[in-house]
């Protein structure tokens, strides 16, 4: 594995966390490599009658603490390195939240925006046909990710049921409610981050009214904007894949949501309600109290980290801040609530969905929110305390917190199962 790979950079966090714990070197060696990565080519019939192939992957990184868990993304720039890195992060994210899961991830190298609905369904079903022996409610449990949603998860769950000959709703989470999905799953990633910021606000020295910049206005970005605005915070800038808008007086969140729900970019609101165009690359440096990266990996790097003016960064995306940027921000006194904690609300409510599917009893949305809040506050407080006690960043504290649980589970299996379990 190259040190310049995405996974190589991610493993720097593992090595750093290990210096703060008395860990068997065999544990670290086990966690440096994916347990199982499968690559296939999906061949589907296009609407014009032609056939087209798409590269696809599923990675089960580590299953020491339980079946692997992780989303499936459809993205034209997906790679195996990205998939394994995301699965590594999921391994630690599930351990951070004390969920009985390991980490997994999947992807298809495709731009779903260029497919018709029928082509998208055929691709989704082809993915399950290819990986039906990999996944399973007790082995590997997919969920939505970038450019996938509950509709796609519904197709996938249906295809799996046809293959195994019976309904298995617990095989996939993030499904439509009609197919066994959980209430509260839609905004879970954002809501978890929102609960975390609210719980630690006093410790972080935050004021009652925050100025917020959000990079990425997909599911997580939209929901966190709505939740924060409802609390009286001011959303001063947002961006999506086509550009960005800002307003020092505060953007009209309802206007932004209407634009996105209508299939338009946030930049279409420019010139209305005081919204003005902002170069997308400038959003990281907007004058604000809270910066929320909610797009893709490596959005804050060595080139733009020095421009960050926020006091706090809430990582709703996976891996949005590079290791080099981490160091720059730490020297500036910027606190980062890391992805493996900050965006773990999604996998936590996915866990709730899996539990509900298996017991055949479903909770109210209020119960879901309350359970999520309690877990986010419990693990957030524990990690904050590790950060203060050890004098390390919150990111390092989160990895220390998770690594302790992973090491305990790996060692409990016995040394003979380190590389065979």
First-to-final CA distance of the chain? 22
Would you call 30 a catalytic residue per the annotation? Answer: no
Cα-based torsion angle of the residue sequence 111, 112, 118, 119 in order, rounded to the nearest 10 degrees? 20
Query: Given 69, 105, 175, 234, which residue is catalytic?
Result: 105
For the annotated catalytic residues, the residue numbers are 105
């Amino acid at each position: 594995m190259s040190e310049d790979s995405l996974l190589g950079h991610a493993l720097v966090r593992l090595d750093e966390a290990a210096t703060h714990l008395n860990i068997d070197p065999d544990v670290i060696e086990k966690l440096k490599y994916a347990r199982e990565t499968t690559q296939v080519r999906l061949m589907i019939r296009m609407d014009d009658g032609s056939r087209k192939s798409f590269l696809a992957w599923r990675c089960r990184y580590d299953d020491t603490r339980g079946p692997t868990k992780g989303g499936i993304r459809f993205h034209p720039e997906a790679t195996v390195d990205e998939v394994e890195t995301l699965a590594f992060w999921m391994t630690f994210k599930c351990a951070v939240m004390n969920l009985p899961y390991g980490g997994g991830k999947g992807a298809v190298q495709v731009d779903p925006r260029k497919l018709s609905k029928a082509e998208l369904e055929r691709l989704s079903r082809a993915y399950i046909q290819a990986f039906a022996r990999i996944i399973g409610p007790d082995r590997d449990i997919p969920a939505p990710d970038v450019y996938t949603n509950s509709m796609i998860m519904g197709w996938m769950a249906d295809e799996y049921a046809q293959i195994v000959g019976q309904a298995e709703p617990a095989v996939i989470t993030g499904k439509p409610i009609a197919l066994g999905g959980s209430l509260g799953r839609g905004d879970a990633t954002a809501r978890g981050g929102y609960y975390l910021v609210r719980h630690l606000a006093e410790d972080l020295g935050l004021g009652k009214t925050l100025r917020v910049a959000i990079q990425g206005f997909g599911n997580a970005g939209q929901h966190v904007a709505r939740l924060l605005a409802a609390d009286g915070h001011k959303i001063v800038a947002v961006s999506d894949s086509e550009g960005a808008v800002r307003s020092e007086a505060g953007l009209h969140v309802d206007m932004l949501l209407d634009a996105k729900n209508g299939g338009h970019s946030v930049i279409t609101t420019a010139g209305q309600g005081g919204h003005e165009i902002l170069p997308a690359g400038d959003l990281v440096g907007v004058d604000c109290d809270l910066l929320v990266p909610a797009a893709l990996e490596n959005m804050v790097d060595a080139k733009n980290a020095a421009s960050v003016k926020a006091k706090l960064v809430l990582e709703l995306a996976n891996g949005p801040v590079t290791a080099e940027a981490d160091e720059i921000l730490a020297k500036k006194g910027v606190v980062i609530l890391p992805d493996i904690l900050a965006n773990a609300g999604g996998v936590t409510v996915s866990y709730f969905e899996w539990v509900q599917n298996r017991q055949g009893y479903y909770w109210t949305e209020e119960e879901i929110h309350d359970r999520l809040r309690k877990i986010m506050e419990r693990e957030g407080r524990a990690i904050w305390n590790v950060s203060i006690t050890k004098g390390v960043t919150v990111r390092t504290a989160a990895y220390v917190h998770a690594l302790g649980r992973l090491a305990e589970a790996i060692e409990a299996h016995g040394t003979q199962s380190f590389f065979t379990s």
